[in-house]
A and B are shown apart, each in its own frame.
Chain A
Amino acid sequence: MTETVWTSSGTTAHEPKFGDYVELLKPRVMRLVIFTALVGLLAAPVGTHPVIALASILCVAVGAGASGALNMWSDWDIDAVMDRTSRRPIPSGRVERGEALAIGVTLAVFSVVMLALFSNMVAAGLLAFTIFFYAVIYSLWLKRATPQNIVIGGAAGAFPPMIGWAIATGGVSVESVLMFALIFLWTPPHFWALALFRNSDYIRAGVPMLPVTAGTRVTRNQILIYTLLLVPVAVAPAFSGIGGPVYLAGALVLNAMFLAGGLRVWRRNDGDAAADGYRVEKRFFGFSILYLFLHFVLILAEALCRLADLSPAGWPRPF
């Protein structure tokens, strides 16, 4: 797979460690994917054998890793000029581009086939579509083409709980669509907050992020618009099969805080942001990660309540 080049200094060029390959799979993204897929699986009304559940979730994780490797293969030139990504395995010279492509394609095929064998065709089909959407539609096309890149590309990150639900139930339902919508609408405010304080990175790399193409004022407006759209969607699962009073209470608090953060970001301008080193934007970005994580913790808490028979029988569930 690799060719060793001995140099005059006695060191070698390009001889990756196993950890370099692991890094290619974006383990941090993988963790979030595993968590949301697992919550989707556990929130489903149908039980799954623990061994099947473990094997299936691992397939989803490997599929996410394959997407990460394919993303690093396609974005090598962007990654090289951005501070945040310049130490990734390809731009730092630890892994060759061709290797990333080979690993990405192999793991993508392997994860989809194994998921079809371990669970069902619906889950495998959703995983295949997710990998295709992230690697081809987002990474190869949208990211370099439109400032709406992360709005549409956000769908790729929103599929894992839907896949988890499909592993357990073999289908798609209102509950899994609501979990999808939660991540889908959360993505734009999350990434645009990051883009506000990483603007120079994106300008240097020539990526048409919204602050680059439309300016920071429009970006702040869009962050608020998407936050307003997100709030009702994030509260709605409380009145579905995966929600309940615990979810409602938690979601109300989290969404009030998120909305307040969105308003603070919206009220500011570049002068305010530069004066305090984008403190509010960075705080909003950091809280957005906790916000999403806690919503899925709440869904998990509701699943445990149902398991322990603690869910109120008369709870309204119009969805």
Chain B
Amino acid sequence: MNLALVKPTMDGAASDVFAVARDRLPGKGPVAEVRQAAFDDFAQKGLPHRRVEEWKYTDLRVLLREVAPLAPPPDQAALDHAKKALASLDVNGAHRLVLVDGAFAPQLSDTASEAGVTVQTLRAMLENADIAARADLLRTSVASDAMISLNAAMATDGVVIDVAENAALGKPIHIVHVSTQSKAAAFTRSLVKVANGAHVTLIESFVAADGAAGYQAHDSVVLWAGDGADVQHIRLVEDARDAANIATAIVTLGERTQYRAFNLTSGSAVCRYQAFLRFDGQNAHADVNGVSLLNDRQHADTTLVLDHAVPHCTSNEVFRAVVDDQAHSVFQGRINVHPDAQKTDARMMTRALLLSDEAEADNKPELEIFADDVQCGHGATTGALDDSLLFYLRARGLPEKEAQALLIQAFVGEAMESIADETLREVAIATAERWLAARG
């Protein structure tokens, strides 16, 4: 496909990143072999660039330039620093699991056992020679992607969560990524297995400790939701404004599974969230929604790939981008309907609101349909705030910024409706309000 165009060589710096880090990466034997193979794949591909179709609008050779060196394991000062950042989180009452600079921090996490859920660290499992299949923790078959390979090669830690059959967890599981080191990279990988019939809310937050700048957060989440499971998956990316966040989610849904995802990006200079979702059992439903709130020169890319591999599944994607100044929003939505996936109902709607003349939004819907009895619909719009609505609000006494803020909140509100939990929806709304308030 793009092979002929891909530069076959990596510059020395990227290779060094792995060579320098290798001894620090957990897992020997088969784990080290998988890492090496993954890194070789990355080295062969190099950082994705505009001639790789899936990364067309997000050229990491331009935006990221290079992979930053691995952050050092957090010392006491880093942990103290991270602890302060946790205080600003809006999510309360969750089962909190904290990763600081790519390492699980038990001191900052809720480690008390809770009925129906077991949590282990990726590091411990990779290092446990008794686990025969430990190398599989780093394997993925979903896509050939340089950044997935890089993550597998470099992952230092993460959480491995098992939710028991029919468990209904009393509180959400909250994975918090805190970066404390400037110009360093954290590589995390978490695996979440939700057994049949279990109900789970999974939240991921990405935040910076005060002063951490120019760092890179590389993350992968692999999630299996069993038959009849009900999974709510919320991501809140509020990284430092000059940071990079490159994240992948790989989601597999069983029969009759309900999966409701919401991704909010308001932080980081460069952000890529790519989710690969596969329907493996019939009569499942997925809502995959997202909001990007961008200004200055922020670049955020949401790329969703949905595979309707079996019949009778439904999916709905609602994406909203609010783009100010010289920021750039990218939405790519791919829906693959496999030959057997009759009665698929897949919908995708993406809308961008441009608040300045220099703001840019790219929407790329791609539908590939091999079954004949399906309903697939997609739509994309890009526009400015409606002047007639603005005037109506101003004529009722709202100053310009407040009128804009109200309309922007209404614009993103529809995408937030997939958050069933009212408290969490308010967390998302509060994040949007912070962004709006910062606009001044």
Q: Do A and B bind each other?
A: no
**A residues at B contact (CB < 8 Å):** none
